Amino acid sequence: MCKITKTSVLYPPLHLLFLHSFGRFNFIPAFSLTAFAGTNSFRFNNWFDLPGSLVKNIAANMTQPIFRKKALKTAYEIAALEQEKSVTQFGQTVMVAVGEVSDALAAIRQTEKRLLLVEQKNQSLTKASNDAVLLYKSAMANYLEVITAQSNALQNELDAISIKKEKLIAVTNLYRALGGGAED
């Protein structure tokens, strides 16, 4: 079985879904106020030349998308591919989860049908075993026929136990497919 949790199906990796749209914001020129706006010069007398220092910083922020266009475009394309990959992986996770739940439900239905047939067979074999004992007591059958009838009834009961075990395993698989159980 694939390891799928409820959270992986209910909550897709949203951070990857939004990478694509956040990548577009890098193409827009930015205006930012920083604490080192006036100290961008190496000479002390230019530290407090606020209009010159500030204009240089604003110009750098405004022209950054122009000079870094190729790097920003590459980052945007990578974000778009990551988003597509994330959506595909989420779709596959959902498909696997639905398949596991469907398989578990089908196994439960099948074992219930088999249990009904085994119970009907058990009633017939119990009646056959009782009839064989009555025939033996009235000297119309030998003891081998009684033993054979009881052996068939016992084998049917063992089959019923095996089918009940299969049903419990199918219910456990359904519980795990729905996200329950301990992580291994």
pLDDT tens for 78-125 read 888 888 888 898 889 889 989 999 999 999 999 999 999 999 999 999
Q: What is the pLDDT of residues 62-75, one digit of tens each?
A: 556 566 667 777 87
Contact 104/173 with Cβ under 8 angstroms?
yes
170, with CB counted inside 10 A (0-12, 13-18, 19+), is buried
Per-residue pLDDT, 79: 82
Q: How confident is the model at residue 183 (pLDDT cuts 50, 70, 90)?
A: low
**Is 130 within a domain?**
yes
Per-residue pLDDT, 54: 47
User: Domain tally for the chain?
Assistant: 1
184, with CB counted inside 10 A (0-12, 13-18, 19+), is exposed
Q: How confident is the model at residue 42 (pLDDT cuts 50, 70, 90)?
A: low
Closest CA to 122 of 152, 93, 91: 152
**Is 137 within a domain?**
yes
**Is 184 within a domain?**
no
**Is 120 within a domain?**
yes
Residue 156: domain span: 6-177
**Is 100 within a domain?**
yes
Examine the pLDDT at 31 and tell me if it is beyond 80: no
Q: What is the pTM of this model?
A: 0.58
Q: How far apart are CA 93 and CA 177, in angstroms?
A: 12
**Is 182 within a domain?**
no
**Is 157 within a domain?**
yes
**Is 183 within a domain?**
no
Q: What is the pLDDT of residues 132-169, one digit of tens each?
A: 999 999 989 899 999 999 999 999 999 999 999 999 99
